[in-house]
Amino acid sequence: MKVYVITILTLLLVSALDQYSNLKTQVGQSCATTDYMTITNFDVEPWPVVFTTTSVITLAVFVNQPGIGIGEITYGILKNQVWTYQSQEINSMFPQNTTEVFQYIMDWPSEPGNYAIQAIVEGMDVPPTIYACWIFIFSRSV
């Protein structure tokens, strides 16, 4: 019985360590989820952000409905009530009950201040339906 308990505890520890390594780069929270899809993972590497450089954003979505197409993922950067945008064209259909992973190289600003970053997963329809949204904040001192 002791061997069984020790084995279970070891497996739980390994699983927790694997999840912890992911938490070092997973940032933010969901700002919108629909019946169409859900953002299940959002990583920024390197984290914290190094200004005037780039990071790789990895975004994973779970497709909840059949016949869903993603037109683009829009990345908005908010500073001093002004939005700037970068977008990633996808233009693909995805099967139901699948997890789709997208990566994007984000260019970071150089000015000090407080920032909010919002990633919006949009449909292929016109005007596009917002399927899911993720947001995180960070700041840079002088």
pTM of the model: 0.79
Query: Which region, left, alpha or beta, applies to residue 69 given φ > 0 means left and ψ of -120 to 50 means alpha?
Result: beta
pLDDT score recorded for residue 24: 54
Is 27-140 a CATH 2.60.40.770 domain? yes
* Domain layout of the chain by residue ranges: 27-140
70-87 per-position pLDDT tens digit:
999 999 999 999 999 999
Does residue 15 register a pLDDT over 80?
no
Other CB atoms closer than 10 Å to residue 42's CB: what's the count? Answer: 21
| CB-count burial class (<10 Å; 0-12, 13-18, 19+) for 39 | buried
